[in-house]
Amino acid sequence: EVASLGVQVYGGHGYIREWGMEQLMRDSRITQLYEGTNGIQALDYIRRKLLGDGGAELSALQAEFSEICDGQVDRPALRELASRVQARIGEWRELTAEVIAATQRDPQEIGAVSVDFLQYSAYVLLAGFWLQAAAKAQDALDAGTGEETFYQAKLASADFYLRRVLPRASAHREAILGGAGCLMALDEESFAF
């Protein structure tokens, strides 16, 4: 996404070799292909990692990030960030339970939810990492670091992520809850026009 935005900044020049943006765009695209495409990785995430142990490992990860949130609620500078992340972790837990139940009721749900569940999980997980980074930055500021501008930028970046990027997770949640039915609603003859 950042590479694509870089192409946009350069306009038509972003598409030609002169500035190197087109190379960055091509190079960034490969990350969604090697080691298995995003779709294959998403199916693996559901089949082997989530359903394989009934969500136990994911639940442990969610608990770990929930503890990080709990450790920040008494810090005024981080309270709001921690609260936002904690709310998403709670939503992630609920969504995980719904995905497990849906895939057990109907195997078609595995393919229907996999990519959106991977994306949702990534957005929330990254929010947890941003909270960790913000906590480290606040620790440095509280200790009187000589790099105040650097650490203030970390706090601002964490706030930006939680306000402007994390809300994208909601679209993936809605898609997951939409179920597999609409994906299979058309019969084969409907595509013969």
Q: Is the pLDDT of residue 6 over 90?
A: no
Using an 8 Å Cβ cutoff, are 155 and 138 in contact? Answer: yes
Is residue 22 part of the annotated active site? The answer reads no
Q: Is the pLDDT of residue 33 over 90?
A: no
Q: What are the CA-CA distances from residue 143 to residues 89, 136, 147, 151, 157 (Å)?
A: 29, 11, 11, 12, 20
pLDDT at position 190 is 86
pLDDT at position 68 is 96
Q: Which of 1, 18, 22, 35 is catalytic?
A: 35
pLDDT at position 187 is 87
Helix, strand and coil percent figures for the chain, each rounded to 5: 80, 0, 20
> Taking the CA atoms of the chain, what radius of gyration do you get in angstroms?
20
pLDDT tens sequence across 55-114: 999 999 999 999 999 999 899 999 999 999 999 999 999 999 999 999 999 999 999 999
pLDDT-based confidence at residue 144 (cuts at 50, 70, 90): very high
